[in-house]
Amino acid sequence: MLATNKFIFLHLFRTGGTSINNSFKGKMVGYHRPRSLIPKEYAHLPIVGNVRNPFDWYVDIYYHALNFNYPMKTPTFLNFILDFKSYSFKESIKRLIDPSWMSSKDKEKSLSYFPVSYNWESTLTDNLRKTEFQSYLNSKIGYLSWLFNYMYKDKESIEGVTYCRLEHLEKDWSSFLGRNISYPKLNTMSGVNSIFGPVKEPRQKNYMGYYDDSLIKLIVDKDKDYIKKFNYKWI
């Protein structure tokens, strides 16, 4: 969460938030801190956050976990739920979106990786606790949909936030601010201009080659409300 004198920016994981954080002066008041925990002194400010095509987003979180798992074992939700084991993209995302495969032992093992409390100072974690892991397992919706609700809901409403699409980030942010802006493009998966250094396995820019029909249908079903709200399409 970035607090400026003009707005609050909520950073939904893998939606261009690092570029936004680096583009504006403000106070970082908690990395990936959700709307429900906005400090009182900033509650009067307008709220803005980014969203992303779900099919592209799932590819990106997979490569984020894959590339930064070694040697540092990146503490992200996907790595935790997979017990840091290596699977193909399709198998990883199916296991993430539909965790019905998990036995009680699997759940206990994954739960053990999550912290009990937040660490707002760390930028190497998505700052989800044991409580959030259990909430996701009980939600029966896609991980992106659950994470979107977790980040942007105020009680039961996701209204009251200006949403900027990663696919049109400069246009949407310029509209929000009432002036043209540009921002540093930090594609950490390309292997070039990466804030983390060279990556192990760069992803393909086009997400379509990663999917089969069954995985497309699973995402369309599990993330249907998110897809409908932002009018995202497969193509």
Average pLDDT value over all residues in the chain: 89
Phi, psi of 166 (to 5 degrees): -55, -35
Nearest to 125 by CA among 31, 20, 37: 31
- Please check whether residue 203 is in contact with residue 60, taking contact to mean a CB–CB distance below 8 angstroms: yes
Q: Is the pLDDT of residue 2 over 90?
A: yes
pLDDT at residue number 164: 96
Q: Average the pLDDT over each of 71-75, 78-82, 155-159, 173-177 and give the range with the smallest value.
A: 71-75
Domain ranges of the chain: 2-230
Is the whole-model pTM more than 0.85?
Answer: yes
Report cis status (omega within 30 of 0) of the bond before 71. yes
Residue type, 45: L
Q: How confident is the model at residue 191 (pLDDT cuts 50, 70, 90)?
A: very low
Q: Does domain 2-230 have CATH number 1.10.3470?
A: no
Question: Structure tokens of 217?
Answer: 């249908």
- pLDDT tens digits for 64-74? 888 776 556 77
Q: Is the pLDDT of residue 167 over 80?
A: yes
Rg of the chain taking only CA atoms, in angstroms: 17
Question: Structure tokens of 144?
Answer: 């992106």
- pLDDT tens digits for 101-154? 999 999 999 999 999 999 988 887 789 999 999 999 999 999 999 999 999 999
Nearest to 49 by CA among 230, 222, 234: 230
Q: Is the pLDDT of residue 196 over 80?
A: no
Phi, psi of 141 (to 5 degrees): -115, 170
